Amino acid sequence: MKTISPFRTGAALAVAALLAQMTTAQNSLAGQQIAPGYAHPASHVKVARSQPAATTSPTGFTPDQIRQAYGFDQLSLDGTGQTIAIIDAFGDRYSTITTNTVTVHHKTKTTYTTNYFDATEGDWTTFCNQFGLATNGLTVAYPQGQGSVSTDWARETALDIQWAHAIAPRAKIMLVISYDNTMANLYGAVDYAVSNGANIVSMSWGRGEFSGEASDDAHFNHPGVTFLAASMDSGEISSGVFYPSASPYVVAVGGTQLTNYNGTWSETAWSGSGGGISLYETMPAFQSGWQQYTTGNMRSAPDVCYQGGPSPGVSVYVTPYYGGWIQVYGTSVGTPQWAALIALVNSGRASSLSSANSAIYSLAPTGTTPPSVDTGLLNDIISGSNGGDPDDFAIPGYDFVTGLGSPVASQLVPALTSW
């Protein structure tokens, strides 16, 4: 296990200074996460009472287990020729404090210097080596410069790049880091990714809906580019959903709890899966006819779902704060993996999907009214809920917790490739 030593032994004052800096930074970021105009990541670390957050070896789901559960192991496509952009804030970075004590004329003066380190490639390499993945294919861009550091966003960044790579091992991973978690700078990172050739963009973050959000949809309206966003982890909320998952130009990804009983995989809706009816986005054509509850002709989320629950989460290697293997859960888990699924699809097509949502919704129905989901293509989740209202439960067909369902990748990928 790689251990971070945040201060030099014996520097008691440095310890206090570092703790003060960390507390200030965390409080500042926490305030930003709930303030208007700021986004927060949709990932969490699972901490067991009997063990520390980080361990020296993986304890959560492994790539081989997830590939087998969803049928990716039956595919020959690997994402060759595709570029998945991962958009995050702050990055997989951390800081340390160096103390310098000088005595002049019997007076001692101590200064403290903050040093910043980027753990992205080291964490990526450790993950790849553990699971037999190639270590090439990753590029990292800071188009707005490097800002502060955040443990939450470091975890998010490591999760996103490692698991997109696990599902589409030959796709290029373009990690674009925003200077901070303001929506304006995150949009700038999205625009940078698209202008630099990304044809799939994964966004495992969001904020509550806001008046005028439809004008921001232009950032995601690029034919031939698929945008995906986490539906977030607050379960059912009293009004609205989260943005950018609410955008009709984005594939909104909800969460399930994946379980293996004696070699048989099953899923139930995860209670934290964000979902519901948008306050400001009208219903897109691809959702017409699917709704089993009144939406007032408004967009609903999520569109699809994927493993996101904590029992267990997925294995991620991250250095900042943790210094080892952690279990991560949340709708962030499925977002980069659905992005990887689209990369597999596009690698088998002559041209990229023009609208992944249109394709998925058009392939999903079996012809009944209301439409039922073709379970040969998607796992229709019919148990669990994210709240106590009738429309908070996973039901046959489309619902506000798991959308259309999770992928039967061995069949869905070929179907989307031919669409």
pLDDT band at 76 (very low <50, low <70, confident <90, very high): very high
pLDDT single digits (tens) 115-144: 999 999 999 999 999 999 999 999 999 999
Look at residue 52 in the predicted model and tell me its pLDDT.
59
pTM of the model: 0.90
Cis? peptide before 365, omega within 30° of 0: no
Look at residue 370 in the predicted model and tell me its pLDDT.
82
Look at residue 164 in the predicted model and tell me its pLDDT.
99
Look at residue 238 in the predicted model and tell me its pLDDT.
81
d(CA 196, CA 84): 11
Look at residue 67 in the predicted model and tell me its pLDDT.
98
pLDDT band at 105 (very low <50, low <70, confident <90, very high): confident
Spatial CB neighbours of 71, under 8 Å, sequence gap ≥ 6: 407, 408, 409, 410, 411
Which range has the worst mean pLDDT, 2-6, 163-167, 278-282?
2-6
pLDDT single digits (tens) 194-213: 999 999 999 999 999 999 99
Look at residue 49 in the predicted model and tell me its pLDDT.
53
At residue 177, φ and ψ (nearest 5 deg) are -105, 125
pLDDT band at 62 (very low <50, low <70, confident <90, very high): very high
Look at residue 16 in the predicted model and tell me its pLDDT.
33
Q: How far is CA 321 from the centre of its chain?
A: 20
pLDDT single digits (tens) 242-294: 999 999 999 999 999 999 999 899 999 999 999 999 999 999 999 999 999 99
d(CA 170, CA 83): 9
pLDDT single digits (tens) 19-44: 333 333 333 333 334 456 999 999 99
Mean pLDDT, residues 80-85 taken together: 98
Look at residue 12 in the predicted model and tell me its pLDDT.
32
